[in-house]
Amino acid sequence: MMQLYDNPASPFCRKVRVALIETGQVDAVKILPAVGHALATEQMPLAENPLGKIPVLTRPEGPALYDSRVICRYLDARAGARLYPESRIWEVLTLEATADGIMDAAVLMVYETRCRPEGERSPAWVDAQWGKIARALDTIESRWMTQLAGPLTMAQIALGCALGYLDFRHGARDWRAGRAGLAEWEAGFARRPAMEQTAPGV
């Protein structure tokens, strides 16, 4: 049986859990809790991922896989689910990478306040991370909305998890302001059973 090192609050782990549900592989994986960060790696699966990051997926047939994009690509191939359609593979991969970049910046904003002593925190650095997020959201609103229509792809899952994390950790910044199309899409996508089942706090 495969094992997934997971933290329910992580948007990257949520991506994998949504992919497991959407590809019908939940029963093939045992979930193992992993809690930590760059300054507290003692509870992280360091033997499986020397970078000390999650998610990590162990599998009987080979070494552990890490990085949510690698894991999701593996799960998609294993199930033949076509979450990465060849007809528009580069668009899907680019939009997934954009969503992952949003998650990365949003997580770094949290780490700045949780991991640094108060006197060492940089509001300017936090705002710079939000600037990355805002630019990415504006680009999706103006350029990528057509990629969010049609059959389910990994790009849609990644973006749904990214937006959910913004609500979870940075709701006061109101990412929906000025992005009516993206807000409408998120409202519908968030109602998918896989998204409801994996929402932070559920």
Would you state the pLDDT for residue 42? 63
Conformation bin of residue 24: beta by default, left when phi > 0, alpha when psi is -120 to 50: left
- Which tokens go with 162? 């990214």
The Cα–Cα gap between 14 and 72 comes to 11
Q: Report mean pLDDT in 10-residue bins for the chain, 202 residues.
A: 94 98 98 74 73 93 96 98 96 98 96 79 92 98 94 98 97 97 98 96 64
Same fold, 2-79 and 86-192: no
Q: Return the CATH number of the domain spanning residue range 2-79.
A: 3.40.30.10
Hey, where are the domains in the chain? 2-79, 86-192
Q: How many DSSP H helices and E strands does the chain contain?
A: 7, 4
Residue located via tokens 């969503």: 99
The tally of CA atoms less than 13 A away on the side-chain side of residue 43 is 9
Would you state the pLDDT for residue 151? 96
The Cα–Cα gap between 163 and 137 comes to 9
Rounded (5°) CA angle 132-137-138: 100
Q: Return the CATH number of the domain spanning residue range 86-192.
A: 1.20.1050.10
Using DSSP, state whether 190 is helix, strand or coil: coil
Beta bridge partners of 147: none
Would you state the pLDDT for residue 113? 85
| Sign of the C-alpha dihedral computed for residues 25, 26, 27 and 30 taken in this order | positive
Tell me if the pTM is above 0.85: yes
